[in-house]
């Protein structure tokens, strides 16, 4: 008896709409992620502490409202959250170029917009990661994540170079205006998805604290998810501390222009595309479980390229480092995200994803703020070395775990429950 292969997701109408919406949205995120720090440094004269504060505010919402956001998203239609999230972020970002045109732009407005966009992104990202299993079959989740990661990595490759070109042509504030257009298009594509989720029954709701506890317990009680979260959270803490200072470091210490910086980031991000298209093959070759610690170690080692760029030729050093970082991060994410989506019951997806986002993104504002403080007190280069060491140590929870000896990851909740 032969098993019928699932139809290509490119023929799946709803997946195509989700993919197109996600693609233009991540392009917009790349534009604003490149233009906003440059605007702070070049137009508003931000120092290391201010850049650290900006980085902290961008992700602070994951620490403040990450857990209840998951419970709320599980009570709402995820498609509605995605559409409204993109429209609201577009409107907030548009205030920055408007203020610049009126000669009224300040760092305080940048802080407020960054925090507001971060709050909306909490709900958007939880709904986005929880929506794919709603519209495709379970055996297509890995393929769907691979395709979404491929488009996201393409945006990471093309985005910085395109953003650098637009910054040179239009200026950083008007480049942010382009982001608003991208997010408006994203909401249009997602609104065309035909699948209609069944609204959760309001009478079945329990106290918010109880529902939040369920999401946290699912993650922390599973021995493999617990180790993955420890690795990801520590790595995000370290990388946030480094990249809060990266634009300031590249412009002032390394002397890179915005065009060179954009090209370095774009070319280095090619590793992410390679990671997206090779993650399935790599998982089969080394084993699905082993792929996680291998990718984590490689990413940690590659982050040393950032401070090394102050000693070695900066452009090739950053290029090679970014290639390896991008490949490792994408392989790591495709494997572990597909694993947890496959494992989690659908009614718990929002809370599970929110719990993981809280645990792994919650350290990011702390890392970003600490990076700014240490960068101001110790200098940029010593601070980058400190965080590079922490990033490498982050791989230990998955390296010294059952994952290192596993080829197949469990597909059922009870498959590994007694194992520590």
CA atoms within 13 A on the CB side of 73: 35
Higher per-residue confidence, 189 vs 417? 189
**What is the residue extent of each domain of the chain?**
13-193+208-405
Which pLDDT score, from 0 to 100, does residue 197 have? 67
- Integer CA distances (angstroms), 80 to 63, 105, 160, in order: 23, 32, 29
Higher per-residue confidence, 160 vs 350? 160
What is the rounded CA–CA span in Å between residue 304 and residue 28? Answer: 28
The residue assigned the tokens 């998805």 is 193
**Averaged pLDDT, 243-263:** 86
User: For 49-58, how does the pLDDT look when each residue is reduced to its tens digit (9 = 90+)?
Assistant: 888 888 888 8
Which pLDDT score, from 0 to 100, does residue 419 have? 38
Which pLDDT score, from 0 to 100, does residue 224 have? 82
User: For 190-238, how does the pLDDT look when each residue is reduced to its tens digit (9 = 90+)?
Assistant: 888 877 766 665 656 666 677 777 777 777 777 888 888 899 999 999 9
Which pLDDT score, from 0 to 100, does residue 6 have? 56
What is the rounded CA–CA span in Å between residue 46 and residue 69? Answer: 32
Which pLDDT score, from 0 to 100, does residue 414 have? 41
pLDDT over 80 (residue 304): yes
Average pLDDT over all residues of the chain? 81
**pLDDT exceeding 90 applies to what percent of the chain?**
20
Instruction: Write out the DSSP string of 75-142.
Output: TS-HHHHHHHHHHHHHHHHHHHHHHHHTT---HHHHHHHHHHHHHHHHHHHHHHHHHHHHHS-GGGHH
Which pLDDT score, from 0 to 100, does residue 171 have? 84
pLDDT over 50 (residue 415): no
pLDDT over 50 (residue 383): yes
For 13-193+208-405, the fitting CATH number among 3.40.50.150, 3.40.50.1000, 3.40.30.10, 1.20.1250.20 is 1.20.1250.20
pLDDT over 50 (residue 183): yes
User: What angle do helix axes 258-268 and 270-286 make, rounded to 10 degrees?
Assistant: 20
**Averaged pLDDT, 3-13:** 63
Read off the tokens for 242: 């480094």
Which pLDDT score, from 0 to 100, does residue 420 have? 36
Which pLDDT score, from 0 to 100, does residue 386 have? 94
Which pLDDT score, from 0 to 100, does residue 309 have? 92
Burial of 256-270, coded b for 16+ CB within 10 Å and e otherwise, reads bebebbbbbbbbbbb
pLDDT over 90 (residue 318): yes
């Amino acid at each position: 008896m032969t098993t019928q292969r699932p139809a290509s997701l490119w023929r799946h109408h709803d997946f195509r709409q989700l993919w197109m919406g996600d693609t233009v949205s991540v392009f917009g995120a790349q534009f604003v992620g490149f233009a906003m720090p440059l605007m702070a440094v070049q137009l508003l004269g931000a120092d290391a502490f201010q850049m650290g504060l900006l980085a902290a505010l961008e992700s602070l919402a994951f620490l403040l409202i990450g857990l209840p956001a998951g419970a709320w998203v599980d009570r709402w239609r995820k498609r509605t959250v995605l559409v409204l999230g993109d429209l609201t972020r577009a409107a907030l970002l548009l205030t920055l170029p408007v203020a610049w045109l009126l000669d009224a732009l300040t760092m305080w407005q940048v802080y407020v917009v960054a925090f507001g966009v971060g709050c909306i992104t909490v709900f958007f990202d939880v709904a986005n990661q929880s929506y794919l299993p709603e519209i495709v079959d379970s055996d297509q989740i890995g393929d769907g994540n691979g395709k979404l990661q491929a488009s996201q990595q393409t945006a990471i490759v093309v985005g910085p170079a395109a953003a650098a070109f637009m910054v040179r042509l239009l200026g950083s504030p008007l480049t942010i205006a382009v982001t608003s257009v991208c997010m408006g298009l994203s909401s249009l594509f997602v609104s065309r998805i035909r699948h209609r989720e069944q609204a959760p029954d309001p009478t079945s709701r329990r106290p918010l604290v109880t529902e939040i506890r369920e999401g946290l317990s699912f993650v922390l009680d599973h021995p493999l998810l617990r180790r993955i979260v420890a690795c990801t959270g520590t790595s995000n803490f370290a990388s946030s501390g480094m990249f809060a200072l990266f634009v300031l470091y590249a412009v002032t210490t390394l002397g890179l222009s915005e065009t060179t910086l954009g090209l370095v980031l774009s070319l280095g991000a090619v590793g992410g595309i390679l990671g997206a298209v090779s993650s399935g093959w790599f998982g089969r070759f080394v084993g699905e479980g082993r792929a996680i610690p291998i990718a984590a170690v490689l990413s940690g080692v590659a982050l040393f390229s950032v401070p090394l760029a102050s000693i070695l030729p900066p452009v090739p050093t950053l290029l090679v480092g970014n290639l390896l970082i991008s490949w490792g991060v994408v392989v790591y994410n495709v494997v572990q995200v597909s694993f947890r989506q496959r494992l989690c019951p659908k009614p718990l997806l929002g809370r599970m994803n929110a719990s993981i986002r809280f645990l792994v993104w919650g350290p990011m504002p702390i890392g970003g703020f600490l990076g700014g403080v240490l960068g101001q007190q110790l200098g940029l280069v010593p601070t980058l070395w400190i965080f590079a060491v922490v990033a490498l140590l982050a791989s230990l929870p998955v390296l010294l775990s059952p994952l290192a000896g596993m080829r197949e990851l469990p597909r059922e909740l009870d498959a590994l429950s007694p194992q520590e």
